[in-house]
Chain A
Amino acid sequence: DTGVSQNPRHKITKRGQNVTFRCDPISEHNRLYWYRQTLGQGPEFLTYFQNEAQLEKSRLLSDRFSAERPKGSFSTLEIQRTEQGDSAMYLCASSLGGLAYYNEQFFGPGTRLTVL
């Protein structure tokens, strides 16, 4: 399978714990995005990487959130001191860069986080 993969698929944690999610994009894609989707809503943009550089962060990404893409391949999203409001589906997407027609984003299956 050469699509975007995310691990774990499900995570249940207690309030105040730290969690880390991983995203492996399609291998030739240099752009990587994180989105968050709460129940009944569409995904909301969190952050964007081009290669290893994090080039934009949403205001939704509080100080408790940090994302990395150390070698321009896989990415991690860490949430520190989780809160119940962090419960959501976290989606990763990747795309080609450059002057492609519309740089379609390919999404992974998501990580569903439940904070008790």
Chain B
Amino acid sequence: AQKITQTQPGMFVQEKEAVTLDCTYDTSDPSYGLFWYKQPSSGEMIFLIYQGSYDQQNATEGRYSLNFQKARKSANLVISASQLGDSAMYFCAMREVTTGGGNKLTFGTGTQLKVEL
């Protein structure tokens, strides 16, 4: 079974600084995908970035980048130039192909990020 581990329940960062949120995963599938989602206090899950297991380069999306270390089974999210609006819960998730051909997501327990002035 797939498993996602996020060991940082809470993180603080100063505005304009960079922060790294940790994620490790476990799977026996050679083909997999890793996602990061942001969940503000309003509750909706906002997609941030995706990394496929066969991607040669680390994914980047604006201020978000994914530090993908396949041998260590880690997929850490790096947020550069933090903003107050980045304060939220962040979830790492892994895609698993279902028996019906869909892509169900297995989520970690999340990291609560607080950006301070």
Contact = CB atoms under 8 A, between A and B. Distances in A.
Interface of A: 31, 33, 35, 40-45, 48, 50, 53, 55-56, 89, 91, 93, 95, 97, 101-110, 112
Given A102-B52, A102-B95, A106-B47, A31 B102 contact: yes
Contacts of B98: 48, 55-56
B104 interface: yes
B105 A55 contact: no
B45 interface: yes
Interface of B: 4, 33, 35, 37, 42-47, 50, 52, 91, 93, 95, 98-110
B105 A45 contact: yes
B109 A56 contact: no
A92 B25 CA distance: 24
A44 B43 contact: no
Q: What's the dominant secondary structure at chain A's contact region?
A: strand
Contacts of A48: 98, 100, 102, 104
B96 to A, nearest CB: 8
Contacts of B108: 42
A41 B109 contact: yes
Nearest to B42: A109
A53 B108 CA distance: 28
A91 B45 contact: yes
A91 B44 CA distance: 8
Given A102-B95, A104-B50, A110 B44 contact: yes
Nearest to B92: A42
Instruction: Give the one of B4, B44, B50, B106 with max A CB within 10 A.
Output: B44
A55 B101 contact: yes
